[in-house]
Amino acid sequence: MSSVPVSAFLALALILFCIGLYGALTKRNTVIVLISIELMLNAVNINLVTFSKYGVNPSITGQVFALFAIAVAAAEAAVGLAILIALYRNRRTVNIDEMNQLKN
């Protein structure tokens, strides 16, 4: 039996998620925003893996899903950066404050 309770892992995930969320919504540099999102995904992965070991029905599925999530995150990071660069070429900035195309 583990000496570390499930809630500790979950709490860690929660803290990381909150940090990521806060970063994603406050940081002005788009790259950092993307990284913060990655952090949030990681926090979710921790949960997945935690439950795969300590959940009601421990099974390998949680880990498999974490893998999928990592794969998708990687794809997302790649596409995100591509978009970022495209945008940067157009507007000469990565400052998120100035990206308000939604407004018009």
Residues 42-71 that bind another protein (CB under 8 A): 42, 45-46, 49-50, 52-61, 63-64, 66-68, 70-71
Residues 75-104 that bind another protein (CB under 8 A): 75-79, 81-86, 88-90, 92-97, 99-104
- In the region spanning residues 8 to 37, those forming contacts with another protein, defined by CB under 8 A, are 8-12, 14-16, 18-36
Helices 30-54 and 61-91: crossing angle, nearest 10°? Answer: 180
Using CB under 8 A as the binding rule, whether residue 40 contacts another protein is answered as no
Interface with another protein: number of residues (CB under 8 A): 87
Instruction: Say whether residue 6 binds another protein (CB under 8 A).
Output: yes
> Residue 3 and residue 87: Cα distance in Å, rounded?
49
- Min separation Cβ 18 and another protein, Å: 5
Tokens for 41, please give them. Answer: 């995904």
